[in-house]
Amino acid sequence: MFCCSNCFAHSWLKMYVNEHSDSTGICGFCGSEDVRLLSVNELAGPFRNMLSMYVVAEAFESGEPLLFLIQWRWDVFEDDLAESQQETLLEEIVNSDWDDDDGEDRLDAKELYMPKASQWFHNTHSDTWEQFCSDVRGDSEATIPFDEFMAEELAESEETLRAGMIFSRARAGFTLDENQERFPWSGTEIGAPPVPKARAARANAEGQVVLYVADEEKTAVSEVRPALGFYVSVANLTLRRDCRVLDLTKVLPELNPFEGESIGWRIEIRDLLNRLGEEVSQPLERADDLTLYLPCQRLAEYIHQNHYDGIRYPSALNPGGSSIVFFDPEVAEIGESKLVKVTVVNFEYEVDDEPRFADRLKAASLEWNRNRTE
């Protein structure tokens, strides 16, 4: 059987079909005429990669038809192609190299499947991290759940910040000169605190000195959470050397499910990196329950041990902005500082009813079934 690029919606598949085709004619699935054709078995490998992240649902688990799952997540087939044709094409591709000696059943596109990650006995990295966050608050020595390979995986979010880059750092309030005039905190007064004053925070334990900076002035000011009418001192800091940071704000390119055999694993790593970004940027209550800092402190320690100079994370207080914590407080030179007065404090809110992933999947599935029966 031969298919053509018009059968597919996924851009990589369209390209793959055209590049590997060595004949033209009428497509056996969508009926397109005078198109480049590719034998379905040429796509068996790429489809197996994608399907490696799904498993047949057990009777007691709630699965979805395989075709629905892959269309919803990856937009594989062209919508104009009738659903029964999509099912046939999927089966033809995957079963094209089926061998009745290897003990596996032929694929049935109508069978109920589920993403491996949501199977009850499978813990994703994010699940494991979640568990650690809760464990470490009771036992600060709890083992961080990252194995030796994790450091390599994290490298996907590595970024180099170049010497000469300028950052901002703020300190609430001001100092008074001999004439009782307001002056901004400057020099070491606005730099990293000395050891006795280094209070426990997101990325450092009590007495451990690190340097927190922001990407821009507005982020720095927002992060000290000043009230309307308050004064804030702000300084520029210049990076003295190149620094290798774990950048949790980095937007990672869309993964291609058809290339690479460990796609499920890579998706989990993506999820974990996003989860860590959320963890680090979470604004904490001022009601200083110091155990709340423990998961992030332990993460920072792990990142530091893996020879990173710091972590960049999204600012929860200035959406779109970012903060960076450097493990070496001497890494940046403190420049000029100035005093600003807060004139507007902006905030927005929403009702906390974000549906869970499982509920969104269910809703999409109902919609799909409705369209199918109409």
CB of 71 to Zn ion, least distance (A): 16
Residue 350 tokens read as 């929403």
**CA–CA dist 365, 374 (Å, integer):** 14
Nearer to Zn ion, 81 or 221 (CB): 81
CB of 5 to Zn ion, least distance (A): 7
Nearer to Zn ion, 13 or 232 (CB): 13
Q: Which amino acid is at 267?
A: I
Nearer to Zn ion, 32 or 128 (CB): 32
Q: Residues 311, 202: contact at Cβ < 8 Å? A: no
Contacts with Zn ion, residue ranges (CB under 5 A): 4, 6-7, 27, 29-30, 32
- According to DSSP, the residues that pair with 39 across neighbouring strands are 2
Nearer to Zn ion, 27 or 299 (CB): 27
CA dihedral sign, ordered 194, 199, 200, 202? negative
**CA–CA dist 349, 351 (Å, integer):** 7
Query: Which residue reads 């069978």 in tokens?
Result: 111
**CA–CA dist 126, 269 (Å, integer):** 8
In the DSSP assignment, the letter for residue 194 is P
Nearer to Zn ion, 6 or 323 (CB): 6
Nearer to Zn ion, 21 or 186 (CB): 21
Q: Residue 49: CB partners within 8 Å, gap ≥ 6?
A: 257, 258, 259, 260, 261, 263
CB of 73 to Zn ion, least distance (A): 22
Helices (H) then strands (E): counts for the chain? 10, 16
Q: Which amino acid is at 227?
A: A
CB of 2 to Zn ion, least distance (A): 8
CB of 22 to Zn ion, least distance (A): 16
CB of 217 to Zn ion, least distance (A): 55
CB of 254 to Zn ion, least distance (A): 24
**CA–CA dist 40, 58 (Å, integer):** 29
Nearer to Zn ion, 78 or 247 (CB): 78
Residue 179 tokens read as 């004439």
